Amino acid sequence: MSPSPPTSSTLTRNESLTLFTITSACLTVLANALREDAEIPLIVSLALSGFAFAASYALIRWLGPTFMRAGFRGADLAKATRREIPECMGAVCAAVYLFVMILFVPFVFYRDVVAATSGGGNRDVVLPQAQQLDVERGVFLHRFPHSKLASYLSAMVSLHTVASLGLADDLFDIRWRHKFFIPAFAAIPLLVVYAVDFGVTSVVVPRLLQPYLGPLIDLGGLYYVYMAAFAIFAPNSINILAGINGIEVAQSIVIASLLALNDTLYLLPPDTLIPRLAGVSSKPHPHPATDSHLFSLSFLIPFLGVSFALLCHNAYPARVFVGDTYCYFAGTVFVVVGILGHFSKTLMLLLVPQIFNFVYSAPQLFGLVPCPRHRLPRFNARTGLLEPSVTVWAEDKQPKGLVKWGLQVLGRLGLLRVVTERGEDGRERIVETSNFTILNLWLVWRGPMKESRLTLEMTVVQAAVGLAGLVVRYRLALLVFSQDNI
């Protein structure tokens, strides 16, 4: 039987001491940064993230009973005793994250330094070389120009919107076909400001097609359709790769860490170890895309801070659930960095397991195969292990035509468990098929296993596929594209 999770909403002495130490260290760094007008915002970002970790960790613990009283609770379906625990704790992470990101603004943007005015109150004569100074001193991890604040704030509005709509989803349990579009609404501020502020809608054409299309092709409005589709896909794809303790947060942490690794490739001097390993040591330094990657890191580091705190509580045996709020929020953080950093293709490589799960889920998402409310693996109380959950096909509701053929083909390819039996009339009928999720498929392939083991194995798969994606990105991309995306 699974161990029963602790119920207390107070911190233990050890926890309090650790969180106090982390908070004190981070506040000291912040105080120093304030005094010295810190040159390297990344240090501030790390300190704020440490603070965000401690704050989220404590708040998630303290607010558990309050959330449960407000109706944010759910039963852990893969346990022998289906205890209810607090749900929607991603909302706490989102709140702490947004708060910390606002505190970060004075550290990361230049003051709009005005040397003089040209009359009439016009603040248009700005100190011209503020940014240049840093480059001359070799400080590439500089602050952003004031003009980037619009993008930063649009990202904040989008994240804020998605967190509120996610909260509404957790509260009202919105139907699948409606909630699918929640992230699209949240992406509107991001896309509108992108159009005004940045407006790049061109993409690099692969070498093969360059004689016909030229080196760049302007997709115009289509690029916005692509970004909107991406903004719908990423959050939803995380929400449906869910249902076992820790999986939502663990996959998000892996994706965010790999994105951060990708960012550091552009920030480190090219002759250091990581860029050399990635084969990008010929990149110019500072790389033209430095700003985009620094920007991306400033969103990812605090996200990692709050996510690790959530994982501590959501890991097996879960004491809280993350809620749809977290899944949408995490997906939107990735959308924000992918779109503003203009590296959504690289991000796609890190989302390969999610893309696979989404495509694989399509028959159930689009109603070809019945889709139960929950598709998470089934807990076998006798063995204590997880098994693939199934869709049962009644005798009078047998799949027909293409669907039947499709199920049989998938079954033969080992991509689905199909159980059949011969009826009294001698005809074979389908009794049950495993549900179309990567978690169930993994169990079909690897056999029943403990919940914690399934989370671990899927996290390793996520990391391995993501790393392979990055290798492909850096080692092979130049075979297909004539230049790196700058």
Q: By CB under 6 A, name the binding residues for ligand UD1.
A: 74-78, 87, 176, 239-240, 242-245, 318, 321, 324, 374-376
Write a three-state SS string for 343-410. CHHHHHHHCHHHHHHHHHHHHHHCCCCCCCCCCCCEEECCCCEEECCEEECCHHHCCCHHHHHHHHHH
Which residue's CB comes closest to Mg ion?
324
DSSP-assigned letter for residue 205: P
Which residue's CB comes closest to ligand UD1?
74
3-state DSSP helix/strand/coil percent for the chain, to nearest 5?
A: 60, 10, 30
> CB under 5 to 8 A by kind: which of Mg ion, ligand UD1, none does 274 bind?
none
In the bound state with Mg ion, the residue whose beta carbon lies nearer, of 373 and 397, is 373
Measure the CA–CA gap between 126 and 161, rounded to whole angstroms: 34
Give, as ranges, the residues between 323 and 342 that touch Mg ion (CB under 5 A). Answer: 324
In the bound state with Mg ion, the residue whose beta carbon lies nearer, of 158 and 236, is 236
Backbone region of residue 75 per phi and psi (left: phi > 0; alpha: psi in -120 to 50; beta: other values): beta
Per rule CB under 5 A, count of chain residues that contact Mg ion: 2
Closest CA to 310 of 119, 467, 96: 96
DSSP string, 1-39: -PPPPP---S--HHHHHHHHHHHHHHHHHHHHHHHHT-S
In the bound state with ligand UD1, the residue whose beta carbon lies nearer, of 183 and 243, is 243
> CB under 5 to 8 A by kind: which of Mg ion, ligand UD1, none does 178 bind?
none
Q: Integer distance in angstroms from the first to the last C-alpha of the chain? A: 54
Among 49, 158, 236, 239, binds Mg ion (CB under 5 A): 239
Interaction between residue 252 and Mg ion (CB under 5 A): no
> CB under 5 to 8 A by kind: which of Mg ion, ligand UD1, none does 467 bind?
none
Greatest pairwise CA separation for the chain in angstroms: 94
In the bound state with ligand UD1, the residue whose beta carbon lies nearer, of 52 and 247, is 247
3-state secondary structure of 320: coil
Interaction between residue 237 and Mg ion (CB under 5 A): no
CB of 444 to Mg ion, least distance (A): 22
In the bound state with ligand UD1, the residue whose beta carbon lies nearer, of 299 and 326, is 326
CB of 314 to Mg ion, least distance (A): 12
CB of 356 to ligand UD1, least distance (A): 14
> CB under 5 to 8 A by kind: which of Mg ion, ligand UD1, none does 5 bind?
none
Using alpha carbons only, what angle is made at residue 69 by residues 64 and 75, rounded to the nearest 5 degrees?
70
Give, as ranges, the residues between 288 and 327 that touch Mg ion (CB under 5 A). Answer: 324
CB of 310 to ligand UD1, least distance (A): 12
Interaction between residue 245 and Mg ion (CB under 5 A): no
CB of 82 to ligand UD1, least distance (A): 8
CB of 319 to ligand UD1, least distance (A): 11
In the bound state with ligand UD1, the residue whose beta carbon lies nearer, of 366 and 445, is 366
Distances 67 to 8, 175, 255, 323, 420 between C-alpha atoms, Å? 14, 22, 28, 12, 45
In the bound state with ligand UD1, the residue whose beta carbon lies nearer, of 72 and 230, is 72
Measure the CA–CA gap between 388 and 376, rounded to whole angstroms: 8
- Mention every residue, 6+ apart, whose C-beta is less than 8 A from residue 463: 254, 258
Interaction site with Mg ion (CB under 5 A): 239, 324
